[in-house]
Amino acid sequence: MSENIQGHLDGVSAEGWLGGWALSGESGVKVQLHIAVDGQQLASITADQFRADLSEAKFSDPSCAFVYRLPDEFRDNRPHTVEVTAAATGLPLQNSPLPFVLRSLVSRPGTTEDKNLVPNAKLSHWPGGSFLKPAERFTQLAAGWYCDFKHGTQPNVTACIDRPAGLGLREDEYALKMTLGASEGYRRIVIPIDVSAASEGGRFLFSCGFRRPHTSITSQVTIPEIFLGTLEGSDLNRIASIRKRLTPDGTLRVHDVPVVISAGTLADLEGQKQLALGIDLQGEGELLIFSPRLARMPILLPGNETVGQFEDPRIQEQSNLLTLPSNWGRRRLVSSSRLSDAMEPASSTAPDDESTTAASPLVQIIVPVFNAAHDTGELLTSIEKHTSLPYEVLLFDDGSDAHTKDFLRRVTEHNPRVTIISHEENVGYTRNINLAIQSSTADFVVILNSDTIVTPRWLEKLHEVISRDHQIAGVGPLSNAASWQSVPQVKAPDGTWAVNQLPPGMDTDQYSRLVEDLSEAQFPDFPLLNGFCTLFRRAALEQVGLFDDLTFPRGYGEENDLCIRLGQAGFRLCVADHTFVYHKKSRSFGSELRKEISREASGKLRAKYPDLRIDQLESQMAANAALNMLRMKLLTFNPEEHRVLRDDAVPFEQQ
């Protein structure tokens, strides 16, 4: 290790948590780390978490700890070796590499593992009304939620119920909107929790969503700390810090932070004492809080409890109290397998392009899935074959059938770069996408339909365009079926959107190379991008808000609305005219239903923007010289081999 970087790998806990610290010799510079198991690189993380024992040891920067949860695929009762190296030097930390063994996780029959300890978590009950300004300490906001503030100070706080578009809330779920004015002292939300589900104590996971809206008045609301405490009268005494120093910029979801509730703590809850969550608020402006959850962590099979524990008992205990990044256990950079045509796990195959570098940006690819196992399998195969940037695939299963769920389960078992988040019930396309974006953590995200097939260097070429200007918020490729991004034809002879067939004897990879060869790579600006495949700059989405899941719940018109808002905010949208992604144009809806949904979405879009001439935007896209020249080249190259199939979709603004 270099003289400027010091660090130590403390160990691996029985639950699969990896922990340690790494300190840079430069003030304010955090150490980037690579994590590998059995020689396979899994993640790139930053050592930036606070740990009390490091502060007690007088570290120059006690916020230099790291934690990472190893994927469940390593819970196989077999020996493995983990290595943590400094990205800047490529050298391992002290005590690394380290052998470990993890046992399988199981649920304990007859217990309440999944019970949410947070009362009124949907914020649907407001016995005191839906808008109030606390006049005294511990004023009830929503049922079971209270506002506290420093004794003797005017809180200058208002609270109300809210349900804005873009949060991905269910029909019966709401958000708490807190508006903070200038005030001295702390403002705090106190939530007494249900300890009946925490009998005998144990390990729990905490999650919650926050949104600080972008308004004309700069919002400076921060969350100094989220903690667990005991409430006695008007005193809330901390017993465990859950997360410190949160500064939401747009939407932020804190995912599955481990919390220990000891049996001793529960035994002390006598008389007037209660267990409670505390959320401290600071600054001025608005903050939305939604979807809180505190539920029991799955337990381990009985066995040798010393296996996989941290050697230092203080570190072992604190490993469950460290503040965690929201993407713990998920930033995986190297894939382990490719899916064969039969959608069964096959042997490992590296991407066919150049290897990634540590300096490359992580991109999270969001794929909404609903009963499309075969299409999803082909897509994942193409992603693994043709992607060399560091990436992670987030499959958001929207209540698919048992066959699809079983297939998705097998995918994650054999591919550590694929993560599945499943909804038991169908929540709708747009809400599913919003939940996915909120669950992502990378600076760049791709929204990619499951009925697509990507081609060589697709992601690299999209990123080439978006990295040219920080004002570029979104980039889309060309395709055979993507309205104004279609090549070589945009419309079929009957005026409907074209679904272009590949030339005989030419596959998607060959055609993508033809497009790249003939393109002048002008990367033209476009007012609207087709939603089948778009690379977004996350900061831009947070500024203007996510998709409008209230107005466009079924996935028609939502991308047009977002593109319009991005344009109105001064951002640019571009087409990567040297990039081709194949779109099967699968029919999730029947022909007549699609027409009905299309007409409905078109009317809602016009009603939302009555002063905007969407037909002028279409004329602008139709007249784009760069794309029209490319289309002519493609037709001239082999005109008789390009046939156009009719698409049943209604021709409305940027379907």
Both 440 and 471 in one domain: the answer is no
Encoded tokens for 358: 């540590």
Tens-place pLDDT, residues 436-463? 898 887 889 999 999 999 999 999 999 9
How far, in Å, CA of 43 to CA of 525, rounded? 35
Both 138 and 96 in one domain: the answer is no
Indicate if the alpha-carbon torsion angle 454, 460, 461, 462 is positive or negative: positive
Indicate if the pLDDT at residue 519 is higher than 70. Answer: yes
Give the β-pairing of 418-423 and 391-398. parallel
Both 615 and 494 in one domain: the answer is yes
The residues that bridge with 33 in the sheet, in sequence order, are 45, 86
Which of these ranges, 28-32, 242-246, 320-324, has the smallest mean pLDDT?
320-324
How far, in Å, CA of 413 to CA of 645, rounded? 38
Both 194 and 67 in one domain: the answer is no
Both 611 and 505 in one domain: the answer is yes
The pLDDT-based confidence of 247 (bands split at 50, 70, 90) is confident
Q: How far is CA 271 from CA 237, 283, 502, in A?
A: 15, 35, 75
The pLDDT-based confidence of 99 (bands split at 50, 70, 90) is very high
User: Domain of 78: which CATH number?
Assistant: 2.60.40.10
Both 444 and 473 in one domain: the answer is no
Which of these ranges, 140-149, 181-190, 224-233, has the smallest mean pLDDT?
181-190
How far, in Å, CA of 451 to CA of 86, rounded? 39
Both 440 and 523 in one domain: the answer is no
Domain membership flag for residue 324: no
Indicate if the pLDDT at residue 369 is higher than 90. Answer: yes
Give the β-pairing of 202-212 and 285-296. antiparallel
How many helices (H) and strands (E) are present in the chain, helices listed first? 13, 32
How far, in Å, CA of 117 to CA of 409, rounded? 28
Name the nearest CA neighbour of 82 among 10, 185, 156, 178.
10
User: Domain of 215: which CATH number?
Assistant: 2.60.120.260
Encoded tokens for 196: 């009946």
How far, in Å, CA of 83 to CA of 34, rounded? 8
Both 440 and 466 in one domain: the answer is no
Instruction: Specify the pLDDT at position 342.
Output: 31
How many distinct structural domains can be found in the chain? 4
Which of these ranges, 268-272, 501-505, 513-517, has the smallest mean pLDDT?
268-272
Both 434 and 498 in one domain: the answer is no
| H/E run at residue 232 | strand 223-232
Kindly report the average pLDDT of the chain as a whole number. 80
Instruction: Specify the pLDDT at position 476.
Output: 97
Q: What is the DSSP string of 242-260?
A: EEEEE--SEEEEEEEEEEE
Mean pLDDT, residues 97-113 taken together: 63
Both 288 and 405 in one domain: the answer is no
Domain membership flag for residue 438: yes
Tens-place pLDDT, residues 539-573? 899 888 899 988 888 777 899 999 999 999 999 99
Domain membership flag for residue 195: yes
How far, in Å, CA of 260 to CA of 263, rounded? 10
Question: Kindly report the CA angle at 419 between 412 and 68, in degrees rounded to 5?
Answer: 105
Top-confidence range, 56-60, 188-192, 234-238: 188-192
Number of residues that this document lists for the chain: 655
- Domain limits at 537? 456-655
Other beta carbons less than 10 A from residue 364's beta carbon: 24
Which of these ranges, 150-154, 284-288, 452-456, 491-495, has the smallest mean pLDDT?
150-154
Both 169 and 254 in one domain: the answer is yes
How far, in Å, CA of 222 to CA of 245, rounded? 7
Domain membership flag for residue 125: no
Domain membership flag for residue 83: yes
* Under 8 Å between Cβ of 203 and 267: no
Tens-place pLDDT, residues 149-172? 876 676 788 899 888 888 888 778
Quote the percentage of the chain above a pLDDT of 90. 35
Name the nearest CA neighbour of 581 among 488, 465, 456, 490.
456
Terminal-residue alpha carbon distance, the chain: 55
The pLDDT-based confidence of 196 (bands split at 50, 70, 90) is confident
How far, in Å, CA of 125 to CA of 130, rounded? 9
